[in-house]
Amino acid sequence: MDPLTEDAAAQNPDKAGETGEKDRDDVIGELVGAISAALESVDRDAIRKLTASLRAPDFAEAIELLDRDDRVALINILGDDFDYDVFSELDETVRDDLSEQLPNELLAKAVAELDTDDAAYLIENMAERDRQEIFDRIPFEDRAALERNFEYEEDTAGRIMQSEYVAVAPFWTVGRVIDYMRESDGLPDTFSEIFVVDPGFKVIGAIQLSRLLRTRRGVPVSEIMNPDRFQIAATEDQEEVARKFRKYDLMSAPVVDENERLVGVVTVDDVVDVIQDEAEEDMLALGGVGDETLTDSVYWTVRSRVPWLVVNLATAILASLVIQQFDATIEQMVALAVLMPIVASMGGNAATQTMTVTVRALAMNKLSRVNASKIIGRETFVGLANGMILSVISAAVAYLWFGSGMLALVIALAMVVNLLVAAVSGILVPMLLDYYGLDPAPASGVLITTVTDVIGFFAFLGLASLWLF
C-alpha cells in the first residue's frame, strides 16, 4: 500500500478497507480538501491531526496542491510542529515562493535543522539581504557550512554536497572511531562511509560502516581502509558527478577543494535528484518549453514558450516559401496538396526519433569521436530501411486513393529521400551543436524540423514537376 493511503487508513481504521481500495489521487484530493476546510475555519487541532502522520514527500505534495495563501497559513499554524524536511521535497517554484512569503525567523530554524545541501536549495534564490539575515540567526557552524556551499556555482558538486561528514586519522583504532562517533555532536544524522584523512585533510582512503562494525576495536584504521577512493572536485559539474555514481555504483563520494582538501560529501540521494532534474530539463528542452513547472504562473509559462514558437513560425514560413516555388505544379494536380503533408510529417517524426536518442547519448557521454562514425552509419542505414518500408506503404495508399502509378512512384521516392535525410540530420545536427559548445536539446528540434520540411516538400514537389507534367 502507498504510504499516503497507509496513513489515511491508520487515521480512519473503520474505513481502512475502503481507503485501501481508493485511488491515490482520491486520497490526496480528500486530504487537501480537508486541510483547506480546516484552514478556512482556523481549526488548529484538525490541521495538526490531518498532517501529524504525513511523510515529508506526501506533505510536500499536499502543500503544492493548496492555494498560495493557504500554504503560508498552514505552515504558520503548525509552527514548531512543521517538518522542515518538507522544504527539500517541494517543487522549486513553490519552495522559492514560500521562502519569499515566510518570515526569516522560521526559515532560519529550517536552515539550522536541514542538511547543508537542502538548506542551500531553500535560500539560494532569496534576496541577499534576507539571506544575510538568516545567516545572522543561525549557529556559527551552520553558517560556515552554508557559506562554503555558496562559494561554488550552481549545478556543481560544491553546491549539492553536504558539509557534514565523518573524517578520522589513519592511526586511529576501530574502537576510537566508534567512541568518537558515539560522543561527537557534529556528525551527520545518517552516513554509510567514513573518510580517512592525513594531517593536511587530504583523503587517503575510506571505510564502509559495515566493515568498521565487523572489525575488532584494536585494529588500526589504516589496515581496513580502502585506498582506491573516487574523489570529486567541488567545481565539477553535477551531471558529471551523476555519471560517475552511475558508472561506478557509488553510494557516496568525498568532495575536495582546489587544494584537494576534504570539504564535503555527495551522497546517492543527492545524485538521484540531479539525475531526475537533468532528465526533466532535457525533456523540456526538446519540447522547447525551457525550465517550466506546473506551478508556474501564466506569465512565466507564456514567456518560456513564446520564443521557440516564434522560431518555429519563422521556419514554417521558410518551408512555405519552398512550397510557393511549386504553386503552378500544385494547381495542376490537387492530389499533391493532399499528399504533401504525409512526406513532411513522416520525415519530422523519423528525425525526432533519431534526435531524441542522440541528445540523450550526448548527455550520458555515450556518443563521442570514438564511436561517432559507427553510429552515424547505423542511423543512415536505419533511415534508408525505414524509407524503403514506408515508401511501399505510402505508394500503395497513393495509388489506391488517386489511381496514378506515377504519383505513387513520386511519393515513394520522396519518402525514401526525406527519411534518409531525417536520419542523418537527426544525428548530425545535435552532434554539431554539441561540438561547438551549444546545448543540443532546445535547438535541435527546430533545426531538424526545418530540414525535413524543406527537403520533404522540395523532393516531393520537385519530382512531381519533373515527372508528372
User: Is 284 inside any structural domain?
Assistant: no
Kindly tell me if the per-residue pLDDT of 92 is higher than 80: yes
CATH number at residue 61: 1.25.60.10
Greater pLDDT, 300 or 143: 143
Query: Looking at 72-76, 175-179, 335-339, which range is the least confident one?
Result: 335-339
Q: Are residues 17 and 116 in the same domain?
A: yes
CATH number at residue 452: 1.10.357.20
What is the Cα–Cα distance from 339 to 233, expressed in whole angstroms?
56
Kindly state the cell numbers that stand for 137: 540567526
Residue 419: the pLDDT is: 92
Residues 317-342 have pLDDT tens digits of 887 787 788 777 777 677 888 888 88
Q: Are residues 181 and 154 in the same domain?
A: no
Kindly tell me if the per-residue pLDDT of 344 is higher than 50: yes
CATH number at residue 189: 3.10.580.10
Residues 409-442 have pLDDT tens digits of 999 999 999 999 999 998 999 899 888 888 787 7
User: Is 145 inside any structural domain?
Assistant: yes
Q: Are residues 310 and 377 in the same domain?
A: yes
User: Is 292 inside any structural domain?
Assistant: no
Q: Are residues 189 and 313 in the same domain?
A: no
Mean predicted confidence (pLDDT) in 123-148: 88
Kindly state the cell numbers that stand for 451: 530540414
Q: Are residues 79 and 111 in the same domain?
A: yes
What is the DSSP secondary-structure string of 344-375?
Answer: HHHHHHHHHHHHHHHHHHHHTT---TTTHHHH
What is the Cα–Cα distance from 112 to 119, expressed in whole angstroms?
8
Q: Are residues 339 and 448 in the same domain?
A: yes
Residue 1: the pLDDT is: 53
Mean predicted confidence (pLDDT) in 108-131: 88
What is the Cα–Cα distance from 433 to 311, expressed in whole angstroms?
17
| Pair type for strands 193-197 and 203-208 | antiparallel
Identify whether the C-beta of residue 219 lies closer than 8 Å to the C-beta of residue 141.
no
Residue 17: the pLDDT is: 45
Task: For residue 369, give its domain range.
Answer: 298-467
User: Is 178 inside any structural domain?
Assistant: yes
Query: Looking at 105-119, 223-237, 295-309, 383-397, which range is the least confident one?
Result: 295-309
Greater pLDDT, 328 or 270: 270
Residue 3: the pLDDT is: 57
Q: Are residues 148 and 31 in the same domain?
A: yes
Mean predicted confidence (pLDDT) in 8-21: 48
Residue 8: the pLDDT is: 54
User: Is 403 inside any structural domain?
Assistant: yes
Kindly tell me if the per-residue pLDDT of 2 is higher than 70: no
Q: Are residues 190 and 156 in the same domain?
A: no
Query: What is the chain's mean pLDDT, rounded?
Result: 84
Number of H helices, E strands in the chain: 23, 6
Find cell 545536427 and name the residue: 429
Q: Are residues 213 and 353 in the same domain?
A: no
Mean predicted confidence (pLDDT) in 173-178: 95
Residue 229: the pLDDT is: 74
% of the chain beyond a pLDDT of 90: 35
User: Is 277 inside any structural domain?
Assistant: no
Q: Are residues 247 and 369 in the same domain?
A: no
User: How many Å is the maximal CA-CA distance in the chain?
Assistant: 95
CA 343 vs CA 136, 318, 322, 457: distances in Å: 64, 17, 14, 7
Residue 21: the pLDDT is: 45
User: Is 289 inside any structural domain?
Assistant: no
Among the candidates 246, 268, 290, a domain finishes at 268
Q: Are residues 454 and 336 in the same domain?
A: yes
Give just the sign of the alpha carbon dihedral 57, 60, 64, 66: positive
Q: Are residues 136 and 185 in the same domain?
A: no
Angle between helices 24-40 and 3-11 (to 10 degrees): 50
Residue 15: the pLDDT is: 46
Residue 146: the pLDDT is: 87
User: Is 398 inside any structural domain?
Assistant: yes
Q: How many CB atoms sit inside 10 A of residue 57's CB? A: 15
**How many structural domains does the chain have?**
3
Residue 466, φ and ψ in degrees, nearest 5: -80, -40
